[in-house]
Amino acid sequence: MNKFQSLDITKFLPHRAPFLMVDHVISIDDEHVTTSFEIKEDCIFIDEDMQFNEVGLIENAAQTCSSIVGKSYFEEDDLEGEGTKLIGFISAIKKVTIFATPCIGDIIISNANLKSRFDTDHYSICTLACTIATSNKELLSCELNLFIQETPKN
């Protein structure tokens, strides 16, 4: 296991089960992230054909992308601590191409790259490009705008 897989991805994302669509961080830095997600039978984005649907792919892309920005709200030594609370949402889908959908049991690998970013003291607006694939085929290619905001500390 690499050092990133031991990171708790929920420190970087506001999502929780059953809406969390990222299992592991394979690698992450200030401009790139690679994640993995195993498609399980109880996933909320499984359709009647037992496929992980298009909405699930887009949500996985958004969560993968937002982890780059979410990471920047943490100090390196805080990655194991309680963490900062964040909220975020897709502010625009600039383009998306879906080539196929994965099946239950497939592990999807998502790669995202930061294209641009605007920061204030409490929020970030960014544009990211993302691709998702299984071991043998490309599933999705997209470009998203995200809004990420730190929530006030109590």
Is the domain covering 9-150 a CATH 1.10.40.60 domain? no
**Structure tokens, 101:** 């959908």
Considering the entire predicted model, what is its pTM? 0.88
Domain boundaries, the chain: 9-150
* DSSP one-letter code for 153: P
Following DSSP, what letter does each residue of 97-135 receive, concatenated? Answer: EE---PBTT-EEEEEEEEEEEEE-SSEEEEEEEEEEE-S
Indicate the burial class of 117 (C-beta count within 10 angstroms; 0-12, 13-18, 19 or more): middle
Cα–Cα distance, 109 to 121 (Å, whole number): 32
Blockwise average pLDDT, block size 10, the chain, 154 residues: 62 81 92 96 93 96 90 62 71 96 97 96 93 96 93 68
